[in-house]
Amino acid sequence: MKTIVLGKSGLEVTELGFGGIPIMRVTTDEAKTIIRHCFDLGVRFFDTAPVYSDSEEKLGAALEPYRKKVVIATKVWAKDAKGAAKELSSSFERLRTERLDLIQCHNISNQTDLDRALGPEGAYQVLVEAKAKGKVKAVGFSSHNPDIALKAMGLAEFDTLQFPFNFVEQEPLAKLFPAALERGMGIIAMKPLGGGLLDRADLCFRFLQQYPEVVPIPGIQAIGEMDEIVGYYKDRRPLTRKDREEIEGIRNQLGGRFCRRCEYCLPCEQGVQIPKILFVKPQVKRFSAKQLLSMSKASVETAEKCVDCGECVEKCPYHLPIPEMLKENVEIFRKFQDEHGAG
């Protein structure tokens, strides 16, 4: 598999990485088999985070024998220095390593988190100090909000940016990715399959191959998934006219009517967990009944508090008909709940 240098981080990574969210849904033994299979296929870049349940432990166990051959990236969710220091120290243990390749401020997607993470007592300071001491090689951040990401890049010396990018979420191509490249940053594409929204892996990865400076990290939860994707990197066939028409068809069908999880609409004064509820529909295909029900039940219940004030619609940059979409997703969830007979 080809390798690329992830911008000024200097990290040499495979052009295809491994996203560590889905392994939290399989057993430790299954995760080990999946991760090692990806390694055998040539993948040498693995991304995880402490908030992905036991993903770090599983990666740590699976990759221990290959530590020197792989690049491991993780994140800190805490936005304050004390919390970030605690998380970071636990990550070293869970990932069974004394030195991390890339540490990222996780999800800087609103002004409050930006102010806290980059403020005087913020998480960023801890990560930069860890880099200065040689405990981590590079410091990056992840975000779902292009405007906030641009601000973060202007305020701190990040080495990498991690952002959602796929053929229905092309917004970062306009300003964000060019700005990151101008600063010499490496770019990591999360959600190359739209976080479960897109099931045409062939189109997704052939689209992404047009941007060789962007490293996708598909979340993998079964052996065959990475084999299929690696196949598209072996043949490297460019998008045909038919592929482009199909992509346009899917884009038109979705019509921009899907949530990008940017969180601009939050907070809702009634406490409705908008993005989490709007994500039920794409997740129905990806999770087992037990997982989806336990993961989304509490969020879905907050939909009942919606008073249809319309404030979120005003704040959403895509002007999604949020109250209507909340109802659709609640309906899908209830139907799913009835079909699977769990409460």
Cα–Cα–Cα angle for 49, 55, 61, rounded to 5 degrees? 120
Specify the residue, 23 or 274, whose C-beta has the smaller distance to ligand SF4: 274
Distance of CA 277 to the CA centre of its chain: 17
Question: What is the pairing mode between strands 12-14 and 3-5?
Answer: antiparallel
In the complex, minimum distance from the CB of residue 194 to ligand SF4, in angstroms, rounded to a whole number: 13
The residue among 125, 79, 127 whose CA lies nearest residue 101 is 127
Q: Supply the minimum distance, in Å, between the C-beta of residue 302 and ligand SF4.
A: 9
- Cβ closest to ligand SF4, residue 209 vs residue 273: 273
CB of 278 to ligand SF4, least distance (A): 6
Least distance (Å) from ligand SF4 to the CB of residue 143?
12
Please, which residue, 80 or 171, has the CB nearer to ligand SF4?
171
The answer to whether the bond into 267 is cis (omega within 30° of 0) is yes
As measured in angstroms, the least distance from the Cβ of 53 to ligand SF4 is 23
Render the burial of 112-138: b for 16+ CB within 10 Å, e for the rest. ebbebbbeeebbbbbbbebbeeebbbb
Considering beta carbons, is residue 64 or 304 the nearer one to ligand SF4?
304
User: Are β-strands 71-76 and 18-19 bridged in parallel, bridged antiparallel, or unpaired?
Assistant: unpaired
Least distance to ligand SF4, CB of residue 142, Å: 15
Shortest distance (Å) from residue 323 CB to ligand SF4: 5
Q: For the chain, where are the alpha helices, taking DSSP H only? A: 28-40, 55-63, 81-94, 111-118, 123-132, 146-155, 176-182, 201-208, 223-235, 241-254, 274-278, 280-283, 289-301, 311-315, 322-340
Q: Which residues are CB-neighbours of 122 under 8 A, at least 6 positions away?
A: 79, 80, 81, 84, 116
H/E element, 173: none
Q: How many other C-beta atoms are found inside a 10 Å radius of the C-beta of residue 214?
A: 23
> What CA–CA distance (Å, rounded) separates 138 from 162?
13
Q: Contact positions toward ligand SF4, by CB under 6 A?
A: 259-265, 268, 270, 272, 274-275, 278, 306-312, 316, 318, 320, 322-323
Residue (178 or 310) nearer to ligand SF4, CB: 310
In 3D space, the residue among 42, 33, 19, 46 whose CA is nearest the CA of residue 100 turns out to be 46
Whole-number CA gyration radius for the chain: 20
- Closest approach of ligand SF4 to the CB of residue 118, in Å: 22
Q: Which is nearer to ligand SF4, 164 or 219 (CB)?
A: 164
Cα angle at 284 between 278 and 290, to 5 degrees?
115
Closest distance to ligand SF4 from the beta carbon of 191 (Å): 13
Output 129 or 147, the one with its CB closest to ligand SF4: 147
* Closer Cβ to ligand SF4, 9 or 109, answer by number: 109
For ligand SF4, give the closer residue by CB, 48 or 142.
142
Q: How far is residue 103 from each of residues 115, 175, 282, 284, measured CA to CA in Å?
A: 19, 24, 29, 31
